[in-house]
Amino acid sequence: MDDPTDPAVAMITTKDWTLERLLANGGRFRPVDSISANSGTPEQIASIIKDYEQRNAPLVVQDVHHHPNWPEFFTPQWLETHYGSQVVEVRNVHGERLDRDLTVTELINSSRNAAPFAHQGERERLYGKDMHCPSEWRDWVKSSDVLPSVVVPGATGDVLPETVETLMSYLGISDTFTPLHKDPCASYGQNIMCYTEDEGRSFWFMTNPSDCSTVASHFQKFGYELDWEDHAATLEELTNAPFDVYIWEQKLGDLVLIPPRSFHQVVNAGGITIKTSWSRMSIRSLEIALYHELPMYQRVCRSETYRVKRTIYDTLIQRTTALETLIQAPDSMHASVNPLCKEVARLIELLDDVLEQEYCSQHRRLPQVTNSFAPDGHDHVCDFCGADIFLSFFQCESCSARDDSGGPVCLCPTCVVEGRTCKCKSVKPVQSGSFRDLLRNRNNATLKLHGARDAGLYEEEPEVLSDQHLIDSVKTTFQAACLLLERRRDILNSPKITRNAILGNASPTSWKLEYTQPKP
């Protein structure tokens, strides 16, 4: 019997697909709501988009390409002229879905010479996915007046720093696809169809964010971990799924807006399609990512992509500065103080949870390996699970990181709690900056809220955080890791037993000690 999980057998083809047929095919298939970019003023369009964001629902803005300032550089010909010799990474969607390098011209030629649909025995069908966006396209997305201003990178409420590049481009043909996945760290996704030829289009399948756990659990029953982003669901799998699936047939000028934590899959159809995508994050995104996404990433060893804890801290600093300026502004501007105070208060709450995880009562004595809070500071990631390291971690100078960089091994506190260590078992607790600086900046934000309250502009009064409060906390993952590491070393160095440490990642707790009583 054929293995249905074999990509060659469970082949995805868009032959005979139309939106109407797909919607009629599944009992829980639903159409995505859409509006025309020409159906109202920019303010009205922005209001509708914000309403859908509040409802956590997908939305499509059509007819964007009818704007008089729609550019002429969204074409394969323009790409060949300006970037034809540039090497890009493309994916063969068949077999093991391996990536390889081609020039832009080679990718375009391969796309135009491919068969109209995937077929049994076909060994290669290339998709230019997650390609770097040409600088001209990037500048247009960020600064043009064509796109709704509330969804462009850096729009009001977007907390992603400018140094984080999320813009990507895609060049695909019929039956190439992006597997079922969520956008990183509970971010908002935006994807616009920039060019099509020979009836090129893309079919989108999206789930409700509220069904996130249900979707993940459903596919785990069949052996698929969706957060590894390597499973392309077949139409039959989606038809029989126990949750709603929203479908859209994306055509030229369609801007698809994907809510945070919505699993979605994109299957291209027809001739060449060119799309551009980017991400935004709100304070709500940071909250969801901190409490839901990051623990899951750590479990499946997926890199974080966006530095959530660092972004919480940086956003708090930025909002605190803005609040201080606004309080000192004329009375006519004070209406904006209360909403800003609420943002600062929520960021303080998020940072407090981070600080409780990162705290150690011996922080004054710990070595600081670098100052990651400086603009030119170095980033650290856990060499086991890929988690971003904000402040506190464990390091071994004797062992080299697995990325062949030659740097020391770094492990996050959660991995150490779960028993992971370096080859020589000599990791030591360190911090990448000053905990006191973090605490001082956190309390400075609190004092600014006190000032707003004293001025009659805000009602709440968050407390100033102290070392004693953190000592009394039960959430200090880093301190627990330090204590566990010390205890394990005591056990390993004990002369009363013979020990054999076995390291692995077959189970969540990968450190196991087998004790053998010494012979009398």
pLDDT at residue 308 is higher than 70: yes
For residue range 442-486, list pLDDT tens digits in order: 999 999 999 998 888 888 878 888 877 777 766 689 999 999 988
Q: What pLDDT, on a 0 to 100 scale, did the predictor assign at position 496?
A: 60
For residue range 337-349, list pLDDT tens digits in order: 999 999 999 999 9
| Residue of higher predicted confidence among 407 and 275 | 275
User: What is the C-alpha separation between 27 and 46, in angstroms, rounded?
Assistant: 32
For residue range 416-427, list pLDDT tens digits in order: 999 999 988 889
Could you give the percent of the chain with pLDDT greater than 90?
Answer: 73
Task: Read off the pLDDT band of 518 (50, 70, 90).
Answer: very low
Q: What pLDDT, on a 0 to 100 scale, did the predictor assign at position 10?
A: 60
Q: What is the phi/psi pair of residue 300, to 5°?
A: -100, 5
E strands, 253-362, in order: 255-258, 264-269, 273-280
Q: What pLDDT, on a 0 to 100 scale, did the predictor assign at position 491?
A: 82
Q: What pLDDT, on a 0 to 100 scale, did the predictor assign at position 516?
A: 34
Q: CB pairs under 8 A, 24+ apart, for 402-405?
A: none
**Average pLDDT value over all residues in the chain:** 89
* Least confident range of 111-125, 144-158, 399-413: 399-413
| Residue of higher predicted confidence among 85 and 425 | 85
Q: What is the phi/psi pair of residue 497, to 5°?
A: -135, 155
Task: Read off the pLDDT band of 271 (50, 70, 90).
Answer: very high
pLDDT at residue 505 is higher than 50: no
Task: Read off the pLDDT band of 194 (50, 70, 90).
Answer: very high
For residue range 11-22, list pLDDT tens digits in order: 799 999 999 999
* Least confident range of 122-131, 274-283, 468-477, 504-513: 504-513
Q: Cα angle at 181 between 177 and 186, to 5 degrees? A: 140
User: What is the C-alpha separation between 182 and 215, in angstroms, rounded?
Assistant: 11
403 burial level (CB within 10 Å; 0-12, 13-18, 19+): exposed
Q: What pLDDT, on a 0 to 100 scale, did the predictor assign at position 19?
A: 97
What residues contact 388, with CB distance under 8 A and at least 6 apart? 304, 307, 308, 309, 310, 379, 380, 381
* Least confident range of 102-111, 296-305, 380-389, 470-479: 470-479
Q: What pLDDT, on a 0 to 100 scale, did the predictor assign at position 463?
A: 86
Amino acid at site 434: S
- Residue range 28-47: mean pLDDT, rounded: 97
Q: What pLDDT, on a 0 to 100 scale, did the predictor assign at position 280?
A: 98
Could you give the percent of the chain with pLDDT greater than 70?
Answer: 90
Task: Read off the pLDDT band of 385 (50, 70, 90).
Answer: very high
* Residue 43 CB neighbours (<10 A): 10
Task: Read off the pLDDT band of 403 (50, 70, 90).
Answer: low
Q: What pLDDT, on a 0 to 100 scale, did the predictor assign at position 5?
A: 41
pLDDT at residue 506 is higher than 70: no
Place of tokens 């062992």: 399
For residue range 86-96, list pLDDT tens digits in order: 999 999 999 88
Q: What pLDDT, on a 0 to 100 scale, did the predictor assign at position 331?
A: 76
